Amino acid sequence: KAGVTQTPRYLIKTRGQQVTLSCSPISGHRSVSWYQQTPGQGLQFLFEYFSETQRNKGNFPGRFSGRQFSNSRSEMNVSTLELGDSALYLCASSLAGQEYNEQFFGPGTRLTVL
């Protein structure tokens, strides 16, 4: 089975721009979660989607948004980029989004904001 894929792997943007990141989960997985990883804050939960519905969102401003398509693929969008948005963005999928389901992570998208 193919793993979680994320595109692009690397991205360089300037302040004020917007960016869209893509995640394809493992086939059959219906839950997709997004995380931001930075040296200072570590791994922080952004949001989780299950069957095209956002079930919850972490403590991030409204500039961060996402969606999930009927095939479970997910995108996240960051508008009006700030320098502090530079991070590794990780996507994870799980079978049914239950707390005991392990999450499988993609390689991440490294976003640099200049």
Give the footprint of other proteins on this chain (CB under 8 A). 4, 6, 31, 33, 35, 42-43, 45, 48, 50, 55-56, 58, 90, 92, 94, 96-108
Shortest Cβ 33–other proteins spacing (Å): 5
The least CB distance from residue 41 to other proteins, in Å, is: 9
Give how far Cα 109 sits from Cα of 22, 81, 96, 99, 105, Å.
9, 15, 24, 25, 12
Choose between 87 and 108: whose C-beta lies nearer to other proteins.
108
| 16 or 110: CB nearest other proteins | 110
Based on CB atoms, which residue is closest to other proteins, 19 or 91? 91
* C-alpha span between 18 and 80 (Å, rounded): 5
H/E segment holding residue 10: strand 10-13
Whole-number minimum distance, CB 25 to other proteins, in Å? 13
Residues with Cβ within 8 Å of residue 38, at least 6 apart in sequence: 44, 86, 87, 88
